[in-house]
Amino acid sequence: MHMILGSQSPGRQELLSAMGYAFAVMPAHIDEQAIRAEDPGALTLALAHAKADALLPQIHEPALLITSDQVVVWQGKIREKPAHAEEARAFLRGYADGPAETVTAVVVTNTATGVRQQGVDVATVWFRRIPEEVIEQVIAREEVFAHAGGFSITDPLLEAYIERVDGTTDSVIGLPTALTRRLIRAAMASHVREDPASAGRCVPPAEGMSGP
């Protein structure tokens, strides 16, 4: 079955390719700020489902559609992509005082049946204090504005300041591979026991949760 990744994230594309899948890329353009929830797992799932909803009308053949979203939780507060340089500085400085917990949701939609499978994975990144000059170099490259929490675990400027990761690196990057593979298999195995017209409707998913 044709596979579509609903994300323009290079990290997610590299991870899905490394899993051995061939796929097309179809980024979803939604107003993420219009979707709010206090619980980070609920928020990322809502955003991943909204991305799927936005893309489904553009898909005209049976496919597995993978959408994902991620936020960072720091000291109980949800951090999304920094809006400006000063916010990015505050994010990066703050990690000396507490770890960054990445909360990543994945939704796999079987467009032939309407069935969706979903799950959430959690990982924790512990940082050493990041020097001010390094923070300024990271911000100058502007990649921080594309990442929840204002950092990429694969950024060579930050590698020396990552003390440890509890969980998996792929989850921190944005696509937990074990969870994604499990959801793909479940979505392919699932079917709707109704008339063919039901294929265009979404079957309520059974929520999955994993973490370190």
> Residues with catalytic annotation?
69
Structure-derived torsion over alpha carbons of residues 201, 207, 80, 48, reported in degrees to the nearest 10: -20
CA distance 128 to 99: 9
The 3-state DSSP class for residue 58 equals helix
HEC profile for 127-147?
ECCCCHHHHHHHHHCCHHHHC
Please answer whether residues 55 and 24 qualify as being in contact, where contact means their C-beta atoms are separated by less than 8 angstroms: no
